[in-house]
Amino acid sequence: MGKAQRATVDAMVRRGPQGFKPLPVEQMRSNFAALMALFPVPKVRTSDTVLGERPVVLVETEGETRSGTILYFHGGSFSLGSPQAAMGLTASLVTRTGFRALSLDYRLAPEHPFPAAIEDCLAAYRVLLDDGINPESMAFVGDSAGGGLTVTTTLAAKEAGLPMPGAIVAFSPSLDHTRSGASMDAKAGIDPFFTREGMAHTGDLYLAGQDPNQELLAPAILADLTGFPPLLLQVGTNELLLDDSVRLAERARDAEVDVILDVTAGVPHVFQSFIGQLDEADRALDRAALFLTQHLSA
């Protein structure tokens, strides 16, 4: 059943809205929104609020609640996406853990290139800390570009002398704007979402001419992860970005950080979105929820 599901998902992605092709950014945003609208969203309660002068969607379970906060960073190559586009993943974690989630609408490139998104994520975290929330009761969670932001925001928090969150969960994170991972070539044509050309296009929007050889743009190869909280990296083997997670896990290990590199065979980028369509998606979200409940303190 798993192989059949994976083949069906791969075919669906290849014929679906191509949100990552190198097109004008407004068209890319429209295509990406159409793509993400295909994914199911578990039933939750949502409301709009603000953190650090940026809009946020508060997501809460309709069932039993637990003490804990997920600060969620959506994906979209740093130039696309929204909390609404990532609601399937956010709601899935909320319903599985009972924690509330705050999904941040950070600024996007090219209007707001690097480091605007990191600044927004860090500002949101500062507000939660200033509100008296125990950092060990909070987790940074994100997918794709947002997965990258879980790591770079933690690096920025460490640089600023702020306490570390209780845990980090990153789904198929983007962690190297030098695009030097071996999987960038080895998985060409296998990855149904990305091409090197498309990633170069969105990467240029985010970089705006800046050198990618710096810690906050290439943490997979440059970051000092000393002092990081427990880290869960989930990635599929059919991804150009596979080696971003592999190399970051190695850096975490070398820095004596608790790290789980959770690799699923034959699945695409952010495969966890395919809830109810791919058994591996539901199982991966179950593992992520367990990780969060084990590591967040009341």
Question: Which residues lie closer than 8 Å to 287 by C-beta, 6 or more apart?
Answer: 232, 234, 262
Residue 25 to residue 77: CA distance in whole angstroms: 11
Catalytic residue among 144, 172, 174, 245: 144
Catalytic residue among 74, 269, 273, 295: 269
DSSP E strands in 247-295: the ranges are 259-264
Residue 241 to residue 239: CA distance in whole angstroms: 5
CB 68 within 8 A of CB 137: yes
Whether 159 is a known active-site residue: answer: no
Task: Report the run of H or E that residue 281 belongs to, with start and end.
Answer: helix 279-295
Residue 41 to residue 202: CA distance in whole angstroms: 27
CB 159 within 8 A of CB 225: no
- Lookup result for tokens 């969060």: 292
Whether 67 is a known active-site residue: answer: no
Q: Report the Cα 176 to chain-centroid distance in Å.
A: 14
Catalytic residue among 103, 239, 273, 280: 239
**Contacts of the segment 58-62: beta carbons below 8 A, 24+ positions apart:** 58/100, 58/101, 58/102, 59/87, 59/90, 59/91, 59/94, 59/100, 59/101, 59/102, 59/103, 60/94, 60/100, 60/101, 61/94, 61/95, 61/98, 61/100
Nearest in space to 134 (alpha carbons), one of 69, 72, 90:
69
Residues catalogued as catalytic: 144, 239, 269
